[in-house]
Amino acid sequence: MKQRLLLALITLILLDFQVAKSQTPWDVPPEKTTKIASFKFTDEVRKDGEVIYKKNCVSCHGGIGVANFQPLVPSPGDPATEKFSKQTDGDLFYKITTGRMLMPTFKDILTEEERWKVIAYVRSFHKDYVQPNPDKAVADTTGGAKGTKVKLSINFNSERKTVEVIATSEDKGVKTMAAGVDIVLFVKRHFGKLKIDETKTTNASGVAVFPFPTDLPGDKDGNVELIAKIDNDKFGEVFTEAKMPIATPTQVTSLLEQRAMWGVRSKAPIWLILSYLGAVGIVWLVIFIIIGKLKKLHELGSKKTTQESDTSIPTNHH
């Protein structure tokens, strides 16, 4: 009995802690709240944002302006409300990027451009919204020293079985190796991106080394698509992609080439085809039985009518 009471008490304490934590204001760093998009929120951008929102956000926030968000703690809320419209673009971008509690971290799920497109779509429901001048964001995307640009390249070390991401910086035409840059590495999969190991920081030679899993399946030739990107927005959205034959060759069979419930008619499961044909056969059998019964009823009715007619004719006796 005492153990149950203690367990209930601990549960209540944890629930109170979660509720208290959910009510804590979400403080956005001052340097993040003023961040703005570097491109214009056009109709095309908003359409892209709608697609991204419906894929990643609608499950919790619901349809914008519909107020059908999930009853979670803390409440995700409807992005069309004043609570969202009063926030700066930087506030929304920071929260989408970092996440908190039930709010996922979209930094490694959506690119910076995709996150801004979601904001563009949300802003289309805020009637008094005026987008800040995108030209003022250009200075922010260079990061670090003014005019500094960072580029990434990917190399595979076949001896060590490691992927090396090399960062170089360019300032006023002078190229140097970029040390101290945080890098994340992903592999493209069918349903998203698979993160490889933890975030790595480039060394004095501008190289971040990632151990590559030897059992990772690739295509039939062992090719995989790698994506390396900087793990912060100091230099803006910086990433590179490369396709390399470094994974385990795998013969991938298309889902439409095997017999399955979702297959086309020629690839439907045998049991499903037989069940369908059996059901159709039963339906037609029932139809023929009903037609036969109706025919017999009709014949009986005609015969009865004929008999009644014969009995109703008077007989003349001479």
- Distance (Å, rounded) from C-alpha 162 to C-alpha 202? 14
Helix axis angle, 112-123 to 89-98, nearest 10°: 130
Q: Are 219 and 250 in contact (CB under 8 A)?
A: yes
* Most confident by average pLDDT, 6-10, 213-217, 264-268, 269-273: 213-217
- Judged by average pLDDT, the poorest of 31-35, 127-131, 264-268 is 264-268
- Distance (Å, rounded) from C-alpha 219 to C-alpha 245? 9
Tokens 């914008």 sit on residue: 64
Q: Evaluate the omega torsion of the peptide bond into residue 74 and state whether it is cis, within 30 degrees of 0.
A: yes
Q: Say if pTM beats, i.e. exceeds, 0.75.
A: no
- Judged by average pLDDT, the poorest of 70-79, 130-139, 186-195, 249-258 is 249-258
Q: What is the pLDDT of residues 206-249, one digit of tens each?
A: 999 999 998 899 988 999 999 999 876 666 678 899 999 999 99
Tokens 């987008």 sit on residue: 131
Q: What is the mean pLDDT of the chain?
A: 82
Q: What is the pLDDT of residues 139-183, one digit of tens each?
A: 443 334 444 688 999 999 999 999 999 999 887 778 889 888 889
In the chain, pLDDT over 90 holds for what percent of residues?
40
Residue 28: the pLDDT is 85
Task: Give the contacts of 132 (CB within 8 A, at least 6 positions apart).
Answer: 36, 37, 89
Task: Please state the rounded mean pLDDT for residues 116-140.
Answer: 85
Residue 143: the pLDDT is 39
**Predicted confidence (pLDDT) at residue 316 exceeds the cutoff of 80:** no
Q: How many CB atoms lie within 10 A of CB 317?
A: 4
Long-range contact set of residues 62-69: C-beta below 8 Å, sequence gap at least 24 = 64/121, 64/122, 64/125, 65/125
**Predicted confidence (pLDDT) at residue 109 exceeds the cutoff of 50:** yes
Domain ranges in the chain are: 19-137, 143-244
* Burial call 43-54: b when 16+ CB within 10 Å, e when fewer: eebbebbbebbe
Q: Are 45 and 39 in contact (CB under 8 A)?
A: yes
CATH of domain 143-244: 2.60.40
Q: Which three-class secondary structure string do you get for 14-58?
A: HHHHHHHHHCCCCCCCHHHHCCCCCCCCCHHHHHHHHHHHHHHCH
**Residue 192, strand partner residues:** 189
Residue 142: the pLDDT is 36
The distance in angstroms from the start CA to the end CA of the chain is: 112
Residue 17: the pLDDT is 44
DSSP percent split of the chain into helix, strand, coil, nearest 5? 40, 20, 40
- Distance (Å, rounded) from C-alpha 33 to C-alpha 35? 6
**Predicted confidence (pLDDT) at residue 299 exceeds the cutoff of 60:** yes
**Predicted confidence (pLDDT) at residue 315 exceeds the cutoff of 70:** no
Residue 88: the pLDDT is 93
Residue 95 corresponds to which amino acid? Answer: K
Residue 92: the pLDDT is 94
Task: Please state the rounded mean pLDDT for residues 182-203.
Answer: 88
Residue 109 DSSP one-character state:
T
Domain 19-137 has CATH 3.30.479.10: no
Residue 204: the pLDDT is 86
Tokens 């109170």 sit on residue: 16
Q: What is the pLDDT of residues 25-45, one digit of tens each?
A: 778 888 788 888 889 999 999
Q: What's the CA angle centered on 8, arms 5 and 9, to 5 degrees? A: 85
Q: How many CB atoms lie within 10 A of CB 60?
A: 15
- Distance (Å, rounded) from C-alpha 229 to C-alpha 61? 28
